[in-house]
Chains A and B, each alone.
Chain A
């Protein structure tokens, strides 16, 4: 047999072997998870779940493409549960009709109504706020701030934000549209753009660092980064130079976003999927979230000492996140029209 023949046969055999073994079924009690959230954030909870229930968790993490994978796989998808990092993605999953309506009294009771899908297709497992980090040096401690006020002339050249095409920013703009309508938000967005200190770049933590370094006076960022930075010796000085301010405390409250989970429509292990989500909203898991990731528990009555110690109590915007997410397409197009995406 020629060299080519041998190589071809070897290659085919190897590929088939790998393909056959890689996708093979594993333990009897298992649940398969598609996660938009990074493994290092989910792992402690998943390990705790497996330890407590004996159900193995198989995970695939990707920050893009899981929705399309679910849609393409259709009836034969191996995924039981999907976890996303923001509300917009949950709305996409609902729109693509890949989630099922779940009956779970536990989840109904534990998760507040505005952090659930009206038809029980997804539930929040943690929540966080998108707040304004102000410079302790240059902005007075008692300044009450609003998202609306970011467009005011006094902040010209003083605002730092990450790219407006990022899902967290899109969700924030969506909440503005949900509150004020498209026309008003369009003008507001132009005003914010004019107040930017620099081209939007970097992630939320980079914005906090920019304030600490004097490049701007206000940064827009999620709450949990503050806790993470305070715990890291290298990043602590930057975090200590800023003050987190919850906007709109005299009005509707601060914009909230969530990490959410749902059971897929064609799940093979739907009961295990429900168990996983129930576990993630159990007091034990919620405490781990608060302690390790500095995220606010979504379930009431959970000890939130470490997180509250940093942020104190605050007023949340009670709007339903499903309603906020409904505006995400309009928000995306608005970002384009404002010239903030190119």
Chain B
């Protein structure tokens, strides 16, 4: 008699199915989000032939050079400020450190176009600084002296750096805080000095976070239009609008936008390849975070000064000037217009933050679990939406949405005699979708940076012990990822509050946000009327930014 023994049930059969579902949904979601980029590719391919020779002959070279210089300048600036401040604040103690830790993120709350016009007001010929100088030295008009021109490429680099360094600071600081003491201790035991330990151990280990931060800052720089237009700096984004509006070629504009995306993609790919074989996690990451090095005397105050400078220049000074110039219009802050705009802004920001955070977690998790290259590629493509100027991305969304709406309507009409009209375009859903596409890079970047710090050995251990995918996320990953997810949520919240071009193009009737209300005056350079709205945007953003800092600090504190 043979003994029939059923083969042992593989532990993972049921788990394979859920992983498959997760992966499939992720691919679908990625496809949906990459749709606008796809639409732009389609536009770009149908360009009339005459445009490209003209552009290449005339402006393309200069756009490329100026944009590269801008990107280089901003990239260098945000790295220096972001990483430097993060290291000082994470690994040392000095006067006012606790305050500066969260204050360094404040520039996130102010839109760059507002900071740009506040500084222009301050440093322009008719502004207080030059007027005072003229009084002091007896100069009478512009011919008598020379003063650095704020409306220039260097001016743009400085302003944009001051506004965007928090991305790098935020992600790098979280990385430093999460680094275990062990690696640095080991380095010091080998005889490395404190600064050598930083350069050769701490910073390389934080590299994924730094790269994500700088990539986000660069993409934001490339899609930036308000500041560079205001400063008359001829970069790709201004060129995109010139080709679109004046030459009537959306196709050419899409092509230019995609060139930007391609450039960013190449850079990121190169960076990925350069660190493909390295790991940035420490399996013993449950060790307590490093103790801070106490600074003394002049060094301590130097650190305070160095950390305070970006806060003052990037936030306090513009904010103070804003308050000062809108003081006599402070009642405008409380009008019905701004109140309803504020509610709309908050609603949109909250929804966008929710959607992007959930989607980012899903995608990051699916990518990690399945390891499918298609998924990773799709997610990268989808997050490239961030590099595309908002108005152009809006068109990329309008086209497929409206096409879908019209197709559905036509089919319903033929089949049932009903007309559904426009279901998606011109509603909040289109706008929400736009914000999702635009800010997926932010959310995904922050989440992925956090995920990279979770060693895969933990995943394997948990699976060996029998936990399914949801279990794994809930009991192992989420506690470790909470800080990154909250970072993602708050970053998207603040950025959606500031978002302008896409909101303008996609919104439904009678839907104003703080940004749109402010813009109608700012575009005419009516600073006085624009300041109450500008102030409201900054105030609305300050609260989540402070929340952000406290959240990260609490979540990365070692558990007793």
Residues of A within 8 A of B (CB): 2-4, 7-8, 11, 14-16, 18-20, 22-23, 32, 38-40, 58-66, 68-69, 72-78, 88, 92, 95, 163, 165, 167, 170, 199-203, 205-206, 209-210, 213-215, 234, 238, 328-329, 331-333, 335-337, 339, 341-342
B358 touches A7 (CB 8 A): yes
The interface residues of chain B lying within 8 Å CB-to-CB of A76 are: 402, 405-406, 409, 419, 421-422
Shortest Cβ gap from A338 to chain B (Å): 9
The interface residues of chain A lying within 8 Å CB-to-CB of B426 are: 23, 69, 73, 78
B427 at the interface (CB under 8 A from A): yes
Interface Cβ pair total, 8 Å cutoff: 194
Shortest Cβ gap from A300 to chain B (Å): 29
Assuming A68-B398, A213-B142, is B429 touching A19 (CB within 8 A)?
yes
A14 touches B351 (CB 8 A): yes
Shortest Cβ gap from B155 to chain A (Å): 11
Residues of B500-559 whose CB lies within 8 A of A: 501, 504-505, 507-512, 516, 520-521, 523-525, 528-529
Assuming A23-B422, A64-B505, A341-B239, is B406 touching A18 (CB within 8 A)?
no
B141 at the interface (CB under 8 A from A): yes
CB nearest neighbor in B for A69: B398
A213 touches B141 (CB 8 A): yes
B425 at the interface (CB under 8 A from A): yes
B425 touches A234 (CB 8 A): no
CA distance A18 to B402 in the complex (A): 18
11 A-B pairs (CB sep. < 8 Å): A19-B429, A19-B432, A23-B427, A69-B402, A69-B426, A76-B406, A78-B421, A209-B126, A328-B248, A329-B246, A341-B242
The interface residues of chain B lying within 8 Å CB-to-CB of A64 are: 241, 244-245, 391, 501, 504-505
Residues of B234-291 whose CB lies within 8 A of A: 234, 238-239, 241-242, 244-248, 250
The interface residues of chain A lying within 8 Å CB-to-CB of B125 are: 209-210, 213, 215
Assuming A19-B427, A62-B504, is B516 touching A337 (CB within 8 A)?
no
CB nearest neighbor in B for A22: B428
A214 touches B429 (CB 8 A): no
B194 at the interface (CB under 8 A from A): no
CA distance A3 to B520 in the complex (A): 41
Shortest Cβ gap from B366 to chain A (Å): 13
Shortest Cβ gap from A65 to chain B (Å): 3
B474 at the interface (CB under 8 A from A): yes
Shortest Cβ gap from A329 to chain B (Å): 6
The interface residues of chain A lying within 8 Å CB-to-CB of B425 are: 69, 72-73
B151 partner, pick from A4, A7, A68, A201, beta carbons under 8 A? A201
Considering the complex of A and B, which 5 residue pairs feature the smallest CB-CB distances, nearest first?
Answer: A214-B141, A65-B505, A19-B429, A332-B246, A72-B402
B402 partner, pick from A74, A88, A199, A332, beta carbons under 8 A? A74
Shortest Cβ gap from B219 to chain A (Å): 20
A328 partner, pick from B55, B246, B395, B529, beta carbons under 8 A? B246
CA distance A70 to B529 in the complex (A): 30
Shortest Cβ gap from A272 to chain B (Å): 14
Residues of B within 8 A of A (CB): 54-55, 57-59, 62-63, 66, 125-126, 140-143, 151, 231-232, 234, 238-239, 241-242, 244-248, 250, 347, 351, 354-355, 358, 391, 394-395, 398-399, 401-403, 405-406, 409, 419, 421-429, 432, 470, 473-474, 501, 504-505, 507-512, 516, 520-521, 523-525, 528-529
CA distance A7 to B429 in the complex (A): 18
Shortest Cβ gap from A312 to chain B (Å): 25
The interface residues of chain A lying within 8 Å CB-to-CB of B238 are: 165
CA distance A277 to B66 in the complex (A): 44
Shortest Cβ gap from A210 to chain B (Å): 8
Which of B125, B141, B419, B529: most chain A Cβ within 10 A? B125
The interface residues of chain B lying within 8 Å CB-to-CB of A63 are: 504, 523
CB nearest neighbor in B for A92: B248
CB nearest neighbor in B for A75: B406
CB nearest neighbor in A for B512: A39
Given contacts A63-B523, A72-B398, A74-B406, 20 further A-B contacts (CB under 8 A): A2-B470, A15-B432, A23-B427, A38-B521, A40-B520, A60-B508, A65-B394, A72-B399, A76-B409, A76-B421, A77-B422, A92-B248, A163-B232, A201-B151, A210-B125, A331-B246, A335-B246, A336-B55, A342-B59, A342-B62
Assuming A11-B355, A215-B125, is B395 touching A65 (CB within 8 A)?
yes
The interface residues of chain A lying within 8 Å CB-to-CB of B59 are: 336, 341-342
Which of B143, B241, B421, B523: most chain A Cβ within 10 A? B421
CA distance A206 to B507 in the complex (A): 31
B525 touches A206 (CB 8 A): yes
CA distance A77 to B422 in the complex (A): 7
Which of A77, A213, A332, A336: most chain B Cβ within 10 A? A336
CB nearest neighbor in A for B347: A18
The interface residues of chain B lying within 8 Å CB-to-CB of A68 are: 250, 395, 398-399, 505
Shortest Cβ gap from A21 to chain B (Å): 8
B473 touches A4 (CB 8 A): yes
A65 touches B524 (CB 8 A): no
Shortest Cβ gap from A82 to chain B (Å): 14
The interface residues of chain B lying within 8 Å CB-to-CB of A202 are: 151, 232, 525
Shortest Cβ gap from B97 to chain A (Å): 35
CA distance A125 to B204 in the complex (A): 63
The interface residues of chain A lying within 8 Å CB-to-CB of B355 are: 11, 15
Which of A2, A75, A203, A342: most chain B Cβ within 10 A? A342
B432 touches A18 (CB 8 A): yes
CA distance A93 to B111 in the complex (A): 32
